């Protein structure tokens, strides 16, 4: 690592880098000692009851520490997890800390800080590619990969030196399909970095075997309270004990537990015994990698795909949420649901905020999802399913195959 990259990574990066390395050899008792002390501080401050999104929506100030200009900034999360949440994040340390853990996850497939990445996600306002020097990453816009542009995408890909492909799980096979399997096999892809959503059962392994490319995969969420890496040995998720505190509590679904998160940050909003809305499937066999708390799978932002105007399956998460999640855009929307009742089109059912700008909402979605015809329907509430769950995507084309969530 050069002095320049070390400087870019920052002091919190190296602090957490060291903690991560140390924690991998901790015993279960050492892990619990580290965690309990930090959790207890939160419980003393906020009480021991569990919290939900509404608590932070209504009492953000009470849960936020050192909320001073420059020290904190507003983060917004939208979409999949339900209603929009705003909270304060540490301006300086959060990014550095996040990198320490994410780079640790990526190192499982050989990634070193600032190796070249191609990121297939987000919107570049009609541009197909954009290079970010500081991150050494090429952004490729899914929104721009319409049929007429595919040849230039393919030509461009052939010119690249070895790179890591950074995608959402549900857009990995879409990407392979777009560039064509033959060309994809010939590209110098060093590894795949696949975030946020879950892979459909078996798909990760299937890709690794079919293409001989390893995938680094992890579970995290926009509140930055807990993070788990997907283990190459047991294929389950190991929660980093120095990132935040996770608890599994009984749920009404067999063999699944509710995932509760408490955050360890000192500055900004502190989440305490926070209901993430995700479910963890109990870990079965032991794993020799470390003594971190484990789950064999996590159900939550499961894969949702829609059929675009050319008949291709596309990741809804990648188009509708992914990069929009952290933008002020979701201030305009209180709740949203996508319905596909016809191939090539999507109906957006939207509960707008009192100050929500409908023209901006529609323009933004049309820019992000140019591959489907969009219809907008403004409603006063999104109804829950009989089991009380809210679905952000309703696929009426495949209604008979749907499983309860
Ligand atoms: Zn494992």
Query: pLDDT per residue over 175-212, tens digit each?
Result: 888 889 999 999 999 999 998 677 766 678 889 989 99
CA 291 / ligand 1 centre spacing (Å): 9
Return the CATH number at 2.
3.40.50.12780
Judged against a pLDDT cut of 60, whether residue 360 lies above it is answered with yes
pLDDT band at 387 (very low <50, low <70, confident <90, very high): very low
Range with the poorest average pLDDT among 3-12, 160-169, 179-188, 217-226: 3-12
Average pLDDT over residues 121-139: 81
Interval 134-148: pLDDT, tens: 889 999 887 666 777
| Centre of ligand 1 from the C-alpha of residue 205, in Å | 15
CA of 290 to the centre of ligand 1 (A): 8
pLDDT at 401: 43
- We report the CATH number of the domain holding residue 350 as 3.30.300
**Strand, helix or coil at 399?**
helix
Give the pLDDT confidence score for residue 292 in this predicted structure: 96
Indicate the pLDDT class of residue 396, thresholds 50, 70 and 90: confident
Q: What is the rounded end-to-end Cα distance, in angstroms, of the chain?
A: 45
Mean pLDDT of 326-343: 81
| Number of structural domains found in the chain | 2
**If you measure from the C-alpha of residue 118 to the centroid of ligand 1, how many angstroms do you get, rounded to a whole number?**
28
**pLDDT tens string 60-73:** 999 999 888 888 88
Higher pLDDT, 204 or 389: 204
**In percent, how much of the chain has pLDDT > 70?**
86
Of 30-44, 155-169, 239-253, 314-328, give the lowest mean pLDDT range.
Answer: 314-328
Both tokens of 332, joined, read 């305009």
pLDDT at residue 405 in the model: 32
Residue 157 to residue 247: CA distance in whole angstroms: 43
Residue 374 has pLDDT above 80, yes or no: yes
Assigned token pair, 177: 């399909």
Dist CA 93 CA 266 (whole Å): 10
Whether 158 and 15 map to the same domain: the answer is: yes
Where is the domain boundary, 304, 327, 358? 304
**Which of 29-38, 309-318, 395-404 has maximum average pLDDT?**
29-38
Q: What is the model's pLDDT at position 301? A: 47
Please give the pLDDT value at position 111.
97
Q: Say yes or no: 79 and 124 in one domain.
A: yes
**Cα 286 to middle of ligand 1, angstroms:** 8
Distance CA 392, CA 326 (A): 18
Domain finish residue from 254, 288, 304 = 304
Report strand pairing: 345-352 vs 373-378. parallel
Centroid of ligand 1 to alpha carbon of 233 (angstroms): 5
Looking at the fold, whether 227 and 139 belong to one and the same domain comes out as yes
In the predicted structure, residue 324 carries a pLDDT above the cut 70 = no
Task: Give me ligand 1 centre to Cα 214, in Å.
Answer: 16
Unique residue bearing structure tokens 């529609």 = 362
Rounded to whole angstroms, the Cα distance separating 286 from 7 reads: 39
Let me know whether 205 and 326 are in one domain: no
Q: Listing from the earlier edge strand, what are the strands of the sheet with 215-220?
A: 129-132, 137-140, 117-120, 163-167, 189-194, 215-220, 227-230, 237-239, 294-299, 274-282, 256-263, 244-250
Domain end call among 287, 304, 321: 304
Span from the CA of 148 to the centroid of ligand 1 (angstroms): 44
Same domain (yes/no): 271, 322: no
Looking at mean pLDDT, say which of 22-26, 77-81, 391-395 comes out highest: 22-26
Q: 258 and 123 in one domain?
A: yes
Q: How high is the pLDDT of residue 403? A: 39
Span 97-118, pLDDT tens digits: 999 999 999 999 999 999 999 9
Mean pLDDT of 229-253: 92
Whether pLDDT at 3 is above 90:
no
Distance from the alpha carbon of residue 293 to the mean position of ligand 1, in angstroms: 10
Task: Examine the domain organization and report whether 363 and 269 are in the same domain.
Answer: no
- Asked whether the predicted pLDDT for residue 372 surpasses 50, the reply is yes
Whose CA is closest to 358, among 373, 336, 378? 378
Q: Take residue 130 and report the two structure tokens written for it.
A: 């954009």
Q: CA angle, 75 as apex, 72 and 79 as ends, to 5°?
A: 170
Token readout for 327 is 């933008």
DSSP letter assigned to residue 352:
E
Ligand 1 geometric centre to CA of 289 (Å): 6
In this structure, the answer to whether residues 87 and 170 fall within a common structural domain is yes
What are the residue ranges of helices labelled H in 24-83?
Answer: 28-46, 53-58
Do 242 and 136 belong together in one domain? yes
Range of the domain at 326: 305-401
Whether residue 257 is found in the same domain as residue 358: no
Report how far ligand 1's centroid is from the alpha carbon of 296 (Å). 9
Judgement on whether residues 53 and 137 belong to the same structural domain of the protein: yes
pLDDT winner (highest mean) among 33-37, 206-210, 217-221, 352-356? 33-37
**pLDDT beyond 90 at 92:** no
Per-residue confidence at 163, pLDDT binned at 50, 70, 90? very high
- CA 292 / ligand 1 centre spacing (Å): 9
| Cα-to-centroid distance, 259 and ligand 1 (Å) | 18
| Ligand 1 centroid – CA 218 distance (Å) | 12
- Nearby residues of 365 by Cβ (< 8 Å), 6 or more positions away: 320, 348, 374, 376
Q: Calculate how far, in angstroms, residue 207's C-alpha sits from the geometric centre of ligand 1.
A: 19
C-alpha to C-alpha distance for 302 and 365, rounded to whole angstroms = 21
Residues 286 and 349 in one domain: no
How many angstroms is it from 184 CA to the middle of ligand 1?
Answer: 30
């Amino acid at each position: 690592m050069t002095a320049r990259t070390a400087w870019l990574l920052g002091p919190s990066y190296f602090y957490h880098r060291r903690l991560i390395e140390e924690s991998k050899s901790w015993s279960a008792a050492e892990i619990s000692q580290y965690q309990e002390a930090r959790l207890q501080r939160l419980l003393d401050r906020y009480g021991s009851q569990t919290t939900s999104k509404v608590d932070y929506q209504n009492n953000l100030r009470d849960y936020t520490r050192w909320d001073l200009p420059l020290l904190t900034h507003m983060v917004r999360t939208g979409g999949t997890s339900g209603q929009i949440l705003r909270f304060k994040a540490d301006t300086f340390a959060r990014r550095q800390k996040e990198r320490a853990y994410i780079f640790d996850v990526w190192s499982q497939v050989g990634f070193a800080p600032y190796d070249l990445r191609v990121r297939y996600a987000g919107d570049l306002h009609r541009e197909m590619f954009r290079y970010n020097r500081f991150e050494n990453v090429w952004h490729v816009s899914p929104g721009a990969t319409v049929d007429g542009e595919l040849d230039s995408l393919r030509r461009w890909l052939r010119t690249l030196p070895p790179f890591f492909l950074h995608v959402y799980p549900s857009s990995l096979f879409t990407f392979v399909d777009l560039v064509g399997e033959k060309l994809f096999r010939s590209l110098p892809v060093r590894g795949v970095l696949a975030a946020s959503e879950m892979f459909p059962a078996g798909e990760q392994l299937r890709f690794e075997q079919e293409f001989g490319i390893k995938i680094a995969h992890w579970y995290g969420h926009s509140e930055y309270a807990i993070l788990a890496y997907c283990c190459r040995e047991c294929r389950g998720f190991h929660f980093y004990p120095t990132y935040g505190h996770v608890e599994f509590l009984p749920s009404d679904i067999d063999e699944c537990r509710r995932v509760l998160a408490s955050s360890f940050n000192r500055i900004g909003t502190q989440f305490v015994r926070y209901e993430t809305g995700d479910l963890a499937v109990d870990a079965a066999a032991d794993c020799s990698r470390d003594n971190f708390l484990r789950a064999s799978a996590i159900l939550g932002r499961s894969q949702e795909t829609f059929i675009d105007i050319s008949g291709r399956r596309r990741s809804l998460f990648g188009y509708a949420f992914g990069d929009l999640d952290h933008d002020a855009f979701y201030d305009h929307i209180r709740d949203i649901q996508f319905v596909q009742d016809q191939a090539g089109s999507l109906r957006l059912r939207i509960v707008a905020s009192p100050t929500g700008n409908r023209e901006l909402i529609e323009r933004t979605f049309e820019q992000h999802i140019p591959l489907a015809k969009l219809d907008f329907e403004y409603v006063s509430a999104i109804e829950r399913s009989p089991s009380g769950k809210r679905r952000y995507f309703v696929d009426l084309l495949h209604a008979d195959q749907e499983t309860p969530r």
